[in-house]
Amino acid sequence: MKNPLAIIFDMDGVILDSEPIYKIIQDEFFRELGFHVSDREYDRFIGLGLERMWQIIKSERPLALPIGELIKRNNARIHNHFLQIVQLDPMPELLEFLQECRRYNFRIALASSTAKSVIMIILNKLGISEFFDEIVSGEEVAVGKPAPDIFLEAARRLQIPARNCVVIEDSENGVKAAKAAGMFCLGFQNPNSGRMNLENADLVMQNFSQIRTYFQA
13 and 28 part of one domain? no
- Confidence label for 1 from pLDDT (cuts 50, 70 and 90): confident
68 and 95 part of one domain? no
Separation of alpha carbons 176 and 98, rounded Å: 24
143 φψ region: left (φ > 0), alpha (ψ -120 to 50), beta (else): beta
- Confidence label for 52 from pLDDT (cuts 50, 70 and 90): confident
Q: Answer with the one of 84, 104, 138 that is the final residue of a domain.
A: 84
76 and 33 part of one domain? yes
28 and 59 part of one domain? yes
Three-state secondary structure call for residue 110: strand
Partners of residue 169 on adjacent β-strands: 187
Mean pLDDT throughout 56-76? 92
From the number of C-beta atoms within 10 Å of its C-beta (0-12, 13-18, 19+), residue 29 rates as middle
Mean pLDDT throughout 61-76? 92
Mean pLDDT throughout 158-181? 96
Ranges 57-61, 92-96, 154-158: which has the least confidence: 57-61
Which stretch of DSSP H or E encloses residue 111? strand 107-112
What pLDDT, on a 0 to 100 scale, did the predictor assign at position 176? Answer: 96
73 and 109 part of one domain? no
In single-letter form, the type of residue at position 70 comes to L
Q: How many CB atoms are located within 10 Å of the residue 142 CB? A: 8
Predicted TM-score (pTM) of the model is 0.90
- Contact criterion met (CB below 8 Å) for 45 and 204: no
Evaluate whether residue 1 is within a structural domain.
Answer: no
12 and 114 part of one domain? yes
Mean pLDDT throughout 188-194? 88
Q: Identify the CA nearest to 93 among candidates 148, 190, 15.
A: 15
State the total domains in the chain: 2
Q: Identify the CA nearest to 29 among candidates 20, 19, 37, 18.
A: 37
CATH (domain of 14): 3.40.50.1000
Domain that holds residue 24: 19-84
Separation of alpha carbons 139 and 141, rounded Å: 6
Q: Answer with the one of 84, 106, 126 that is the final residue of a domain.
A: 84
Separation of alpha carbons 103 and 106, rounded Å: 8
What pLDDT, on a 0 to 100 scale, did the predictor assign at position 50? Answer: 85
Separation of alpha carbons 6 and 45, rounded Å: 27
What pLDDT, on a 0 to 100 scale, did the predictor assign at position 58? Answer: 93
Q: State the DSSP string of 53-70.
A: HHHHHHHHS---S-HHHH
How many Cα atoms occupy the beta-carbon half-sphere of 206 within 13 Å? 0
166 and 194 part of one domain? yes
